[in-house]
Each structure stands twice: as C-alpha cells, then as structure tokens.
Structure 1
C-alpha cells in the first residue's frame, strides 16, 4: 500500500466480511418499519436510484433523500448482509447515496447509536494532547520519538494516529496514503495499488489541517469527502468497517482497535474485528480467519497505561 505501490489487488479480492459480523452493532438487521412492505421499500430505493441518475451525489444533500435513506435502512442492511457477500460496487449501484460522507455517518449512527464524527472530535479534544505527551515522556521506541520530535505543526488527530501506528509497529500505509492535491478518483485508481480493505486517501503530499480526502474499498474510490479535515475522513473510514461488515486489516488492526475502544467508545469485553489465525469454518467447511476472543493485549496495555498516566497528568 502507499504511494510507491506498483501492483493492483487481484480483481475480486475482498476483505474479510460476512453477515455474522454484528460485532458491537445495535441494529445489525432490524425489521422494516411497520408501515412499510418489501415492495414499498424497494420503490423508495428505486426512487433514490433515479434521483442519483438525474442529480448525481448532490441529491444526497436533500432532506427528502436523507428521510428515504433512514426509512429504507432495514433494506440496506438486508442487501449488505446477504450471503454470499455482495461486492461494494454492486451495493454502490443500489445505494449511491450511502457512499457519501453524510450517508456513511447517518448509517453508522443507526447501526451503532454513535455519532462517529462527534465522538472522535470530542475524544481528541479530551485526550489527544495527553496521548502525545504520554508518548513524549514514556516511550523509548525510536519510531515514536522520531514523530514526537517533529512537533505538532499540523493536525492533532493525524499526529496521534501516526504515534499510535508507530507504537504498534504498523505502517501508516496500512491506513492512509497521500495523493496529489489535484488528483481525481480516476487518477488515484490508475496510479495507486488500492487494497481490498478500506483506505483513507489524503489529497496533498504533506500532512495538513485542511486535507481533502477520499475512501477506497475493494480497489475503487467509493467516497469523496465534502469536509476537508483529517478527523472527518478518519471517522468515515472507521465507519465503513462496521457498515459493510469488514474486519480490520492486519496492517492496521491494533490502531483501529485502539480508536474503536478509546475514541469511539465501543468496548465489548469479547470479540474483535481483527483476524487472528486460521480455522475450519463449521458452517462452510472452508479455511477462514479466526477471530480473537478478547482485547488485543498490546491495545489493552496501552489503554491501561494511558489511563494511569491521565490520572497522574490530572
């Protein structure tokens, strides 16, 4: 992954997903609204599909579209959760307004009861600088100290994510890449190796407080942000793992689990959205990745150490 990549993911490659991945979701597959039927929901979906054909993604800002998206949420979950799992491109054809910044946030809130952007912004405001100070004073890792020594000239959230990835020994390319500030979605798909797992694409070669962003999944750019802040892109990236039943990639699993538990406030005692080892599936008989049954120990240790440090810091 990243700007130096030269090979494209194999066509059809998918991240780990499936309808059993209801991890920490409160409305994973709800019943349709009492006043709706399968036919009326499909009629509403078709109406939005036609709106998109006439108005493009700009139509997603209309109050009517947001109401229709909320009304058809159960049908969206039915399509997302079906087996075998549909491709992201198939879902994007059926639900184009889901693949907008606003659509992603709204669906995630219905799915988890969490306003993801507000949750990340509040958590960063509460503890972002404490996390930076913790790594400055407590970490002996060379990569961490190299980032600390650069100082905080740009975006605090980006700085914290870079520190977390260095601490966990994960490459930033596992979560985000930088592209030219004027690059289009087509330029990025042509120039980069886009992985199957969700990836945040920041437009601009230098970390910036005001970076435009895009998100790719399964090798295609699927969302272009309308809000030019890193935290808004990070919120959308985090949300799509839950919306589309995707497991965290090994390349960024510990950082994402830390964000999940400390920033998003999703703290199940058991289970994980990361993959650990391979087992034979009892349902399909095929070799599949086994999920961890508890919090990643490295994440748990950092969470504990930070909690102790915050008490001392206060």
Structure 2
C-alpha cells in the first residue's frame, strides 16, 4: 500500500489498476495515494526538512510521481493533476512557487505544469494517428472577453459608489482648469483628485475612448494622477512597489540575467537592464513595446506610429541614453516623462487604470511585473489580464523565470 499525504483529510480509496484503466471519478485525485515511497530517500529527506531540490532532483520527483499515478490511472486529466499538485505542495511547501518569500499565484502552478508535461509525454504515441487529446471542459481555462469576467483582476475598488455626481462634476471642471497651469501643486489638489475617482472609474468602465478621457481628465494622465488612481484602484502605491522590488531584488536579477543570457550590459541603468533582459529571457520582442524616434519628434508625429497595443516612444537612440519618453495608448500620446524607469512604471500602471488587456506578445513581462514588482497576485485559474487561453493560472514564462531565478539564488 502506498503512503498517502499526511495533510490530506480524505481517506485513500481502493482503485483498480491496469495500463488502460481510466478513472473518471472527479474526486479520484483528492483521494489517490501519491507514490512518495518510490522517491529516493535523499529526496524525501530534503522535502521533509524543507530543503530545496536541485532542478534534476525535482524533475526526477515529477517523473516518479506521474509514472506511479499512471499505474493506477492511465488517463489522468489536467484537472486531476492540478488537485494532486495542490496536495503535494500542501505536504511539502518547499516546492511552492515563490520569489523572495512572496507566493506566486496558487503556489503550485509550476508543479502543475511539470506534472502535465510529463503526463503528456507519456501519452505520446498512444494513438496511431497522433490525434491530440481533446481537453475536458474542466481542464480548459476560459478567459472570456466580457468585461465583467476580467475587470476586477487584482483590483479592490473597481466599481466605487458615485454619490453626488454633480459635486464630482464640479471637481472635474476645477481639475480641468488647474491642468492648464504651468506648474501644478499636486499637494493642493490631491484631495480633489481623490474625490473625483468614482466618476473617473465610471467613465473608464463605460469605455470612453482614451482621447476623450484625456480631454476631460488631463490630470489623470499626469504621473501623479496615474499613481493616485492606481492606488485607489488596487490599494498599492505603484512607485513605492517598483522601488522596493528594485532595492530587494534588482542586483540579483541583474546577476542572474548576465549569467543566463551571457550579456554585458553594464552601461544600462538597472531598471533598463532588468526589463529588457526579462523580455529577452521570455523571447518577447521589445519592438512591440518600445520604438525609437528622433529627439526632436513631436507628440503629433509620434501618434502617426500606429500600434494595436500600448507602447512607449523613446526619443533618442536607445532606452538608456534617451531623456524623454512618451506613453502611447490607442495611438494617443497620453503621458510624457524623462526616465525609462518612470516611463515603464507608468506604462504598466495604465494597463490597470484604463482596464486594458495585456497583449499576448507581451503578457510575460507584464505579468512578471504585476506579480513580482507590484505584488498583484490573484490566484484564480480563470482570472487573466490577457485573452490568451491557458491551462495555468500563472503565465508559463513567468513560472519558468521564477523557478530558474530561485534555483540560481539557491546555488550561488
């Protein structure tokens, strides 16, 4: 008899065996005995003592577990493997997905992916026609495009009560007049801006075009306005979160990327190096996110660069040398700033402020920033800021980066 997880309250069930047996009981994975006794004694010792496994030992653990489970059930669904991964991580928390003590997503998506990949590899060649197994409806994570399904992703105050709309409209007009001043004293207008938040959100949620929002709420697109709105929306200070992450993890990330990517980027600022290296690691093209223009280029000229997703115009020859950056949303220059770090921070913030989906081609870098820099870490499998269908609650490139970074830090 194989030992069951000590943290599982469900009693093991007696199950038939056989290479062609398929268990359809949805509760099977909650009760099946996980074959921990087939693991090498040193692996079990590490797990029991809360010591990290090497990459090779972890892969071997996955093979042993999946192969042992397949002796009981030869056709394991992704949903069943998800349940098993949850049980394994609950028993051995050292296996969970985390970065610098911060849990990522459910904490077990990395193990889910490894179990699924091993199981899929074991299934290859079973059919003479090589037909891909159709996912069960319980396996497939649907990320519908309807606003109601994605609008609260990581937000704590998405639909604020409006209250006295006439009073808020008066505040909007006051802010509009103030925005025309040469120098704005934000400490003097901060309360007015905060009180107008419900109307800002109402218009954003209603889908008012960016150019109209910019004309009605110019202060919303100033750096201070983006940060204040983001804070009211998520209860997180965007700038402080970025700065704190850079202080805690910046040097380690740079050392990791230089080691893995074999690049010598010492001339770049830390923020520039980390963002661009992260994109290269995930094989996401920075051409989708940044485009270079001459230093004398005007906002109107920048807007002629057509893009289907938000991007940053870099006024200069490279991100590290430029002294001006323009954030472009729906082909409208919304915000101008003078540093790469600030430009990227505000650019990310606008995805939340304006309720914009992550473009598929940039979903890795944006989700890494969201979860690790900013700390917005929803774990629901159907929560997604990108419309791309996926079986994991966390972007697989993000999981791979976190896993390799954690292993790098452990072995250093």
TM-score range, shorter chain: 0.7 to 0.9
How many residues align? The count is 265
Residue in structure 2 matched with residue 266 of structure 1 by the alignment: 376
Residues 1:185 and 2:318 aligned together: no
Superposed CA RMSD: 2.1
Whole-angstrom CA distance in 1 between matches of 2:168 and 2:392? 37
TM-score, normalised with respect to structure 1: 0.78
Q: Which runs of 4+ in 1 moved over 6 A?
A: none
- The Cα offsets for residues 261-299 of structure 1, whole Å up to 9 and x where unpaired, read as 11111111122212214xxxxxxxxxxxxx766101221
Residues 1:109 and 2:231 aligned together: yes
Change (3 A) 1:17 1:237: farther
Change (3 A) 1:135 1:185: same
Look up the SS of the partner of 1:125 in the other structure: helix
Residue in structure 2 matched with residue 284 of structure 1 by the alignment: none
Alignment of 1:184-263 (within 5 A): 184-190=298-304, 192-193=305-306, 195-208=307-320, 211-225=323-337, 228-263=338-373
Residues 1:94 and 2:216 aligned together: yes
TM-score, normalised with respect to structure 2: 0.60
Residue in structure 1 matched with residue 198 of structure 2 by the alignment: 74
Change (3 A) 1:132 1:124: same
- C-alpha contact 2:153 2:385 (8 A) present in aligned 1: yes
- C-alpha contact 1:201 1:216 (8 A) present in aligned 2: yes
Residue in structure 2 matched with residue 300 of structure 1 by the alignment: 399
Residue in structure 1 matched with residue 20 of structure 2 by the alignment: none
When you count strand as a share of all residues, which structure comes out higher?
Answer: 1
Q: Which has the higher contact order (CA 8 A, sep 6+)?
A: 1
Structure 2 residue runs of 5 or longer lacking an equivalent are: 1-144
Look up the SS of the partner of 1:222 in the other structure: strand
Change (3 A) 1:59 1:30: farther
Look up the SS of the partner of 2:271 in the other structure: helix
Change (3 A) 1:59 1:293: farther
Structure 1 residue runs of 5 or longer lacking an equivalent are: 1-15, 278-290
Residue in structure 2 matched with residue 5 of structure 1 by the alignment: none
- The Cα offsets for residues 212-270 of structure 1, whole Å up to 9 and x where unpaired, read as 21100001111112xx2211111100000000110111221111111111111111112
Deviation at 1:100, TM superposition (A): 0.7
Deviation at 1:136, TM superposition (A): 2.9
Deviation at 1:183, TM superposition (A): 2.0
Deviation at 1:210, TM superposition (A): 6.1
Whole-angstrom CA distance in 2 between matches of 1:189 and 1:129? 36
Residue in structure 1 matched with residue 256 of structure 2 by the alignment: 134
Q: Which has the larger radius of gyration?
A: 2
Residues 1:47 and 2:146 aligned together: no
